[in-house]
Chain A
Amino acid sequence: MSLVKVEGLHKSFEDNHVLRGVGFTVEKGEVLAIIGPSGSGKTTMLRCLNLLERPDQGRIEVEGKVLCEPGPDGKSRFAPRNDIRRAREEMGMVFQRFNLFPHMTALQNIIEAPISVKGVGKDSARSRARELLEAVGLAHKEDAYPMQLSGGQQQRIAIARALAMEPKLMLFDEVTSAVDPELAGEILLVMKRLAKAGMTMLVVTHEMGFAADVADRVIFIDHGVIQEEGPAREVLSKPQQPRTQAFLKAVLERAPMADDEASAAALTTSDELVEGLLIGHDVRHDEKEGD
């Protein structure tokens, strides 16, 4: 039985149809990377899984429990609030912007939910939290407040906080996008270890190296539709769809990715366009110096 089963997911924000019938499954122990251009719907898809975003249509099943399914009128019908809460306990989520509780220390951030939601005793919650802090390399930071920590450290605390609930599944939403590039490595290392330990992971990411190294499978999503799906190395090295090819080229070469021919033209580096950017600037230094 698949751990996660998603079928025909649709979600719109106002007139913006972000997800247009997305479906996939995740097996236990699998690491699934979700890639795609900005605005493709990948983050929305991830957020639908634990119902932070409520799908308009479709079916979500986690561990055989139905969280969302089409009702008789075609609109989504959701599991009762308590069932959703219980399902969320099984799904750890790590956010792009960490979302640590700023008024609590690292340790307090980690033990809050286990104590209040799972009813774990204070002492065992604390000792488990210390183990987790050590595992993410921050044993010496248990009394630090989030704002005293770097982005990379905060994100590792956030991972520890999610793990403290002993989830069966971890959701990662562009977790390195808000940290300085040199700090991304320490987060990715923790995730790599987690994957090795057998955690089931859904990872929305722009880190293609990480996807190639760690993911078993890759989903490429664009315009709210899964365009391509397959074993990580295959999709990343030999993409079949033109959209996937263009996207990977854009990410790997830092080349611009255009939606159509008109904007492709605007993204060239012709002299005329470069000068257009400099209107009003005095770029004729040599002439001036001659005076």
Chain B
Amino acid sequence: MDLEFIVEEFPGIWEGVPVTIGLFAWSLFYGTLGGLLLALLRLSRLRGLRAVSAGITWVGRGIPPLIILFIAFFVFPEIGITLERFPTGVLGLALWAAVYQGEVIRAGIMGVDPGQWEASEALGMSGRHYMRRIIIPQGLRIMIPPYFGNAMTLLKLTSIASIVTITEITLLAQRVISFKFVSLEPLLTIAFIYLALNTVLQFAQLGFERAFRLRV
């Protein structure tokens, strides 16, 4: 391993960090919104809505994320959805995130003690009100660990955007590999970057868990 080489080539790869973070943050944001929608549809009173959500989740979880990304790039334009490269990458990754976070959100809501729903109903609260005030605040506590688990997977998954030539860190590392004929150093460099970013997420998770801990 050539440390000097890493120092030399690092700035070139470093330029991709904002792109990686951007891909991650935007797809987590839209993925969470989409996941919330999927979860609420899945818990709906109407069978049709439940079926739509279950179907999307079934397909989304059943095919590789890379294929979802390809669908966003090559199938969506055929049906009239044409976006720039970066937003298209966000769209593909957000779809992946939505089906997974949708299940996390649904599990969190269903994990709340049924007695909480009953107490809310017995007090005459409307469903909309007790979802917001009673159920979701308690469900969040259950959702935190699996939500961050998916978020960390999503961060690593941004590397597949290199295949559709979004210039995030994996693509920049691959360029170094093919131009300089070395592979270990650039790969270790981006491994370190992914690890550092995921460490931030891990601390964020701990912070959220602490904030939502029930007082005993």
Contacts and interface: CB of A to CB of B under 8 A. Distances in A.
A52 B117 CA distance: 10
A100 B116 CA distance: 7
Residue among B113, B115, B119, B129 with most chain A CB within 10 A: B119
B134 interface: yes
B124 A52 contact: no
A92 B122 CA distance: 7
B126 interface: yes
Interface residues of B, number: 19
Interface residues on A, range: 20 to 34
A86 interface: yes
Interface string B202-216: 000000000000111
Contact of B124 (A99, A148, A165): A165
B119 A99 contact: yes
Given A116-B129, A145-B215, A147-B215, A97 B115 contact: yes
B124 A101 contact: no
B132 to A, nearest CB: 10
A101 B139 CA distance: 12
A135 interface: no
B119 A95 contact: yes
A113 B214 contact: no
Contact of A99 (B115, B126, B214, B215): B115
B120 to A, nearest CB: 8
Interface in A158-199: 161-162, 165
Interface string A106-123: 000000110011000000
Contacts of A235: none
B214 A102 contact: yes
B214 A147 contact: yes
B184 interface: no
Interface of A: 50, 52, 85-86, 88-89, 91-93, 95, 97, 99-103, 112-113, 116-117, 145, 147-148, 161-162, 165
